[in-house]
Structures are given as structure tokens and as C-alpha cells.
Amino acid sequence: MTMLTMLHIVIGFIGLVIIAVPFSQNIASINYRHILAAIFLQIILAFALLKIPFIVQIFAYLSEGVTALQGATQEGAEFVFGYLSNSSLSPFENSGQGNAMIFAFQILPLIIVISSLSALLWFWNILPLIIRSISKIFEKLFNIGGPIGLGATANIIMGQVEAPLLVRPYLSKMSEKELLILMTAGMSTVSGSIMIALVSMLSIQFPGINLIQHLVSASILSIPAAIMYANIMIPSSKITNFDGSSVPKVYDSSMDAITKGTRDGLEICLNVAAILIAFIALVSLLNSILGIAGNWIGVNDLSLQLILGYIFFPIVWLMGVPISEALPAAELLGLKTALNEFVAYGALANIEPDILSERSKLITLYALCGFANFSSVGILVTGISAMAPERKNDLIRVSVKALIGATLASCMTGLVIGLF
């Protein structure tokens, strides 16, 4: 790594922190020790997750498990959907035109299976043990309470609405900063079920690398960054602690876990499919309008992606992407914010090989790994408000800060990964 690249990274760390400062409720009360602690923890965790042989080997085994899981899911999907779930079984000749991969039948079933498996592992206390172990580190380092430590860390595996369910009894007691941490952590990560689906989408664009290792690492690394940005935006020392069992009982039996997990997975699938149809259609309509407007003012190929690309351009450069590659990477980040991570990752999966270098593609992979988009704000506010109706106004008040903080947290994670 050259001195110029190192200088670029240092400027990136400073710049990504400074961007959040104007959104702080009390700039004078910002705890800069927490900022340094978060950055150093991210670097240490990145080194451990990507470079320590023992941990790398664990991810290798996990990748083999994902491959087996994909095969098992395909077996179930083929029984229900036939050749639609496996293009190689099609009785029709492939013309080579169009997309042979049918998203609804080949990607979404993975979400149902992994959701069911995650619920089972939660009932068997495997996931709670892992999550509580990680959350203890964040609680000690950032001086946060057990409920918010558990709720934030659970986002590594669970969805942005499912994770707050674990701390539902404490939502009414949490400070605005703790609610902001919960929302920011939820939008700066993706759930385990979504990760598995993304592995299938991205495998062609990233051959030879362990995608599940990088996606899990991205979610883990984004948690301290999310806590850091919440601490910057709402500095507060108020802590909500557990007053009983630290890990609530979610399922009554293994069969209950499987059935509820399957039902939750189906609900996620339907939501993902509906949102993709609606938002892609709306963006296509908007791009048609922008294209016409662009022709009037002499700007060719004007689109939402291009506009957002220019908005995110400086942030992407701060992430460590060279200036010559920053615009296409910024367009992907803009797509994720305006639409969702599936659309952005789909665009990344189909990007031309010479547009982004391997390093820039990896940084972008990490920066896109989160639910930070406009629709997620509504999902989170609605979901948590249903659990604690009296906090709805507080959630609305911090929602924009959460979206900004989550976006910056994922970008900070992308910057950190550029070191390795």
C-alpha cells in the first residue's frame, strides 16, 4: 500500500466522522474517545475476521455449509416450482437472450429456509450465545446497557424489525440515543437470510472469494460504527439495563421455531418481491421523465442513478475508492439508498469487469451491506411503534439521523476493509 493510499484512508476516516458532526444535538458533548474506540475496534475486528487463520477456516466451513444449504433449498424449490427454480432443468432451449435466473423461484426460497434454520438455532441457544458474547464487547467499550447491546448486535443475524423484538419490554424505557442506536444498527446491517440470497446473486461477479465471510464481516464491523454515529448525533450517558433474563424466550419448541421461522421467512419474501416490483417500476418511470427533461436541457442519459451518483461521489471517494472509479460506485450507493440493497447488489453483480478494480468492488460490496434506504425508515418506525406505541414520535424524530448514521456506518466499514 502506497503512502498516497494511506493518506487517502486517513483523510477518509476524518471526513466520514466530520460529515456526521453537523447532525449532532450537542457538539460540545461528543465523546471523542468513543469515536477512536469504534475505529480501532473496526480495524482489529477486520484483521481478526479476514487474516487470523483459525477464524478464516471457520468461515471456510461456513461457506461449505452455505453451499449445502443452497443445494438443499434447491431440492425443496424444485419439488414445488419444478424447472423454474433451476435454469439447467428447463425443458426449453435457452436462446441466450434475457436473464435465465428467475429471482422469485431461485433466490427468494433461500430466505425462507435460512429464516427457519435461524429460528431453530435461536431456540437451541446457539445464536443467543454468539450474539451475547459479541454484545458484551460493545457494552463495555461504549458504555451502553445490556438491552441495547443485545438489540444492536442481534442485527448481525436477525432482521431490522425482528432484532428489536428481543428487547421489546425495554423499548418504552430507552433514551432517544438508545433508540437511535437500535435503528442505526438495524439499517447498517443485513439479516442472515438476506446474506445467503446475496451470495447466490454475487457469486459470478466475485469468483474465488468467500462471500459469506465478507457479508458476515460487513455486518459485524458496522455495529461499532453504528454505535459511534449514534453517539455523535445524540451524546448521552443514560443507560437502560436488564432487570431480568438477558435473553428472552422467543419459541416454545423446535417445531414452533421451524414453523414461526418459515412463516417469518415467507413474509420477508413477499415484502422483498413486492418492494422490488414497485420500486424498480417507479425508478424506471422516473428515469423516463428525467431522460425527457435531460434532452430539453442538453444533458444526455439523465437518470436518478446519475444524480445520486454525483451526490454520493465525495463520500465514496472518502471510502477509499480512487476518483476515477468513484462515480460508478457512488451510483450503486445511491441506488441502495433510494431503492434497496437487492437492486444495488444486482447492479454490482452485472457491472462490467473494467469499471471497478477488485479493491474498489470489495469496498463497494461492504458499503452496500445494509438496509439503509428510505423504505427501511418506514419499516422500522412502523415495526418498533407497534411494539412500543408511546415511542412513535421519538422514533420519527430520530429516523433521519438513523438513515444518515447507518449509511455512514456502512461507508466507514468499506473504508476499513480497504486497509486489508
Residue 87 has pLDDT above 70, yes or no: no
**pLDDT value at 178 more than 60:** yes
What is the pLDDT, as a whole number, of residue 94? 62
Residue 247's pLDDT is what? Answer: 61
Establish if 273 belongs to a structural domain.
yes
326/355 Cα distance (integer angstroms) = 10
pLDDT at 398 (0 to 100)? 93
Q: Which three cell numbers stand for residue 49?
A: 475476521
If one compares 223 and 200, the residue with the highest pLDDT of the two is: 223
Question: What confidence category does residue 65 fall into, taking pLDDT thresholds of 50, 70 and 90?
Answer: confident
Query: Which residue range forms the structural domain that includes residue 54?
Result: 3-87+99-417
- pLDDT value at 74 more than 80: yes
pLDDT of residue 96: 55
Tell me, yes or no, whether 119 lies in a domain.
yes
Whether residue 247 lies inside any domain: the answer is: yes
DSSP 99: -
- Return the pLDDT at 93: 67
* 225 secondary structure, DSSP code: H
6-39 per-position pLDDT tens digit: 899 999 999 999 999 999 999 999 988 889 999 9
Q: Is 241 inside any structural domain?
A: yes
Residue 219 lies in a domain: yes
Task: State the burial class of residue 378 (Cβ atoms within 10 Å of its Cβ: 0-12, 13-18, 19+).
Answer: exposed
In a domain, 94, yes or no: no
Per the structure, the count of domains in the chain is 1
Looking at 86-95, 213-222, 297-306, which range is the least confident one? Answer: 86-95
> Residue 79: what residue type?
F
Whether residue 92 lies inside any domain: the answer is no
Residue in the structure block whose three cell numbers are 444486482: 346
Give 251's DSSP letter.
-
The rounded Cα 45 to chain-centroid distance in angstroms is 17
pLDDT band of 127, cuts 50, 70, 90: confident
93 in any annotated domain = no
Closest CA to 276 of 392, 197, 359: 197
Look at residue 95 in the predicted model and tell me its pLDDT: 57
Would you state the cell numbers that stand for residue 204, as one nine-digit string? 459470478
Integer Cα distance of 336 and 183 in angstroms: 17
Percent over 90 (pLDDT), the chain: 37
Q: How far is CA 166 from CA 158, 181, 246, in A?
A: 10, 15, 9
Report which of residues 245 and 105 the model is more confident about. 105
For range 195-212, the mean pLDDT = 86
